[in-house]
Chains A and B, each alone.
Chain A
Amino acid sequence: EVQLVQSGAEVKKPGESLKISCQASGYKFTDYWIGWVRQMPGKGLEWVGVIYPDDSDIRYGPSFQGQVNISVDKSIDTAYLQWSSLKASDTAMYYCARPTSGWWFDLWGRGTLVTVSS
């Protein structure tokens, strides 16, 4: 089955670091881009960024450049979204999703809820 399985919910304090994961299965990981979408509580979808696993080419959304780091581990078909110092405003649901070559997302994970609170 083609799917994206995301890591579980996280509760962190401001200033802490975090790395959430998304493991792909059912397709060749290095043939597709993979990316992240943010949804803050009660708000809309925001395009965080995407990475091409074969060469680690990354495209960040303008609001997220320098705020997060996207990476992959090809050996385990897994993509990551990482923060070095979390803020309360990072509290959101983060979806892993697979874009096609035409840049629409045809496959989504169930989401990872990140809560940042002192």
Chain B
Amino acid sequence: YELTQAPSVSVSLGQTATINCSGDNLGKKFAFWYQQRPGQAPVLVIYQNAKRPSGIPDRFSGSNSGQTATLIIRGTQAMDEADYYCQTWDGNAGVFGGGTKVTVL
């Protein structure tokens, strides 16, 4: 099973960033999202498609339908500049997308 992400997304400070993750019938599975800042371990930002862990700002939101899961960052801040990875479970093993680098202009 494979998950596909665009390599990069640029967003102006304070605007909305949209990060997509596509896979065969991904909407029938749960999607999870991680943020990884340079030199740091990943951090979970969305689980079960749209739920935010404690401590994750509400400007992060997620959805999942059809072939595509989406992570949205509203009111993007400079600290949101990072790599973002989607992940799912295919019944036997976990799978990560290739990652999307978000650049805040």
Question: Interface of A with B (CB < 8 Å)?
Answer: 35, 37, 44-47, 49-50, 59-62, 95, 97, 99-100, 102-106, 108-111
Beta-carbon contact of B44 and A104 below 8 Å: yes
Indicate whether A102 sits within 8 Å of B30 (C-beta atoms), given known contacts A44-B98, A61-B94: yes
Beta-carbon contact of A99 and B42 below 8 Å: no
With an 8 A cutoff between CB atoms, is B64 at the interface?
Answer: no
**Which of B47, B92, B93 touches A104 (beta carbons < 8 Å)?**
B47
Question: Interface of B with A (CB < 8 Å)?
Answer: 30, 32, 34, 36, 41-44, 47-48, 53, 83, 85, 87-89, 92-99
- The distance from the CB of A67 to the nearest CB of chain B, in whole angstroms, is 14
Main secondary structure of the interface of B (DSSP, over half): strand
**Which of A60, A102, A108, A109 touches B93 (beta carbons < 8 Å)?**
A60
Residues on B with C-beta less than 8 A from A61 are 93-95
Residues on A with C-beta less than 8 A from B43 are 108
Number of A-B contacts (CB under 8 A): 65
Indicate whether A95 sits within 8 Å of B42 (C-beta atoms), given known contacts A44-B98, A47-B96: yes
Which residue of the partner chain B has the closest CB to A60? Answer: B93
Indicate whether A59 sits within 8 Å of B92 (C-beta atoms), given known contacts A45-B42, A104-B87: yes
Beta-carbon contact of A110 and B41 below 8 Å: yes
**Which of A60, A100, A105, A111 touches B34 (beta carbons < 8 Å)?**
A105
Interchain residue pairs A-B with the least CB separation, the first 7: A103-B89, A104-B32, A47-B94, A44-B99, A108-B41, A45-B96, A104-B47
